[in-house]
Each structure stands twice: as structure tokens, then as C-alpha cells.
Amino acid sequence: MRTLTTLHSFDSADGANPESALIHATDGYLYGTTTARGANHDGTVYKFTPQGALTVLHSFDSTDGAAPTAPLIQATDGNFYGATSTGGANGDGTVFQMKSDGAIATLHSFDGTDGAQPFGGLVQATDGSFYGTTYYGGTQSYGAIYKLSIGLGPFCESRAPFRHGGNRRYNLGNRSEGRDKRRL
């Protein structure tokens, strides 16, 4: 038998229009964003328990970004990273870092020439850098692919082979082991 249970209904004060996917973080909470409403009407970041207890961690105020449509990621440093599709210093969106207590730091404000409206999510590559795309902007105004390095080191390394041909890659990140704890 299939059962669907509504865990939370947004009421505008805690946000509206949750467009992005949820992530299950290492602390056991589920994290997500809303693209609208909240205290400043520019979207929110929230966490909730699998039982449905929701806590708003941050309400965007346009200066730090607005309308986060992309899902969050949890990087190897344990912090959360995401993008807002509008707002920031130039109104073209931002890339931000969020601590688990909800403190936001703007890492980059797009200005149109380097891209605008980053609707897609970030990925952290094995070199430690973040990569993403923008919907508009760039030199031709058709969008851009960007790389943002903030000093996080690589989380993969190659090791010399031992009596067999080829190199092996070892994931050094904090969420890199499978169920049986074998290194990938």
C-alpha cells in the first residue's frame, strides 16, 4: 500500500514556492530553499526533521540574494552552498555559503558579464572548486559556465599502483564511503 503524508505546509512566513530538491545533510536534517516569501519576501533556507519539524535558518533580503531556485549542496568543509537567481550587489544573483546556524556569506555577486540568474545547482568537483551555470549573461548573453574556488582543497588523489597497472583514485571527502565503508 502506498501512503503519502504531508509533513509541512508553507504559510508564507516560512517561505513559499519550494522549487529545489531537498538534501539530506550529515547532521540528519533535510535542507531546502523556497523561492519566495519569508521575512523579507525574497525566499528562505530551512531545515526540517524527517518527522516534519521545520526551522527557517535564513530569510534572503535581496542584498544577499533572492529567489534561490537551485538546491543546496553540503561541501567537504561541512558548510552549505547554493545560488540565488536574483538579488545581490548587481541584481543578477549570487553564490553563497551558509553555516549550519543559518549565517550567510555572499561569495560572488554576478554582474551580467560573468553570468546572470544561476538557476542551476552547484557541484563541488574533486579539485575542491565549485562549478555551475547561469541562465543569462556572459559575453553573448546566452548564459555561462563558471568555476568558483574558495580554497577548499581537492578531495581525491591518485596513488601510485602497487604491483598492478594503472592509478587508483581515492576519495578524501567526508561523504565518500559506501554502505560497507569501502573506499571508492
pLDDT at 179 over 50: no
Q: What pLDDT is recorded for position 174? A: 47
The three grid cell numbers given for residue 19, joined into one nine-digit string: 522549487
Strand pairing category for 123-124 and 80-84: unpaired
118 forms bridges with which residues in the sheet? Answer: none
Mean pLDDT of 127-152: 97
Whole-model pTM over 0.95: no
Total number of residues shown for the chain: 184
pLDDT, one tens digit per residue, over 18-62 is 999 999 999 999 999 999 999 999 999 999 999 999 999 999 999
Mean pLDDT of 126-143: 97
Count CB atoms within 10 A of the CB of residue 76: 18
Query: What is the model's pLDDT at position 124?
Result: 97
